[in-house]
Amino acid sequence: DSGVTQTPKHLITATGQRVTLRCSPRSGDLSVYWYQQSLDQGLQFLIHYYNGEERAKGNILERFSAQQFPDLHSELNLSSLELGDSALYFCASSVRSATNEKLFFGSGTQLSVL
């Protein structure tokens, strides 16, 4: 158990809908990262938050947004969903934003858009 909690574990929805994925980082970790993993693909970096502030953006679509709350949990919002958004979405946390920090991953949310 990495200590990173993601909910829900599975989510099935229809095209055009909006969903929210939730992540609770490990106790004491200030950084939260979101990654997308499509079928047979590697992990694509979406966005990074540190202590409530956005620190870096990757290949995140404009239809997607995220935030980190004062209690350090984070939410990833996906709107106007398309079939191609079906993927595993992982959250990871680390103690702080530094170049030698290790990321610890949650078990992911499997999103299926039908």
Partner 1 sequence: GQQLNQSPQSMFIQEGEDVSMNCTSSSIFNTWLWYKQDPGEGPVLLIALYKAGELTSNGRLTAQFGITRKDSFLNISASIPSDVGIYFCAGRRDNTDKLIFGTGTRLQVFP
Minimum Å gap between C-beta 16 and partner 1 is 26
The single residue among 11, 24, 34, 48 that binds partner 1, judged by CB under 8 A, is 48
Minimum Å gap between C-beta 19 and partner 1 is 19
Note whether 73 and 22 are within 8 A (CB).
Answer: yes
Identity of the residue, 14 or 99, whose beta carbon is nearer to partner 1 in the bound complex: 99
The single residue among 16, 28, 58, 84 that binds partner 1, judged by CB under 8 A, is 58
Does residue 80 come out as left (phi exceeding 0), alpha (psi in the -120 to 50 range) or beta? Answer: left
Residue 102 binds to partner 1 (criterion: CB under 8 A)? yes
Q: HEC profile for 56-93?
A: EECCCCCCEEEEECCCCCEEEEECCCCHHHCEEEEEEE
Whole-angstrom Cα distance, residue 15 to residue 53? Answer: 30
Residue 92 binds to partner 1 (criterion: CB under 8 A)? yes
Binding site for partner 1 (CB under 8 A): 2, 4, 6, 33, 35, 41-45, 48, 55-56, 58-59, 90, 92, 97-108, 110
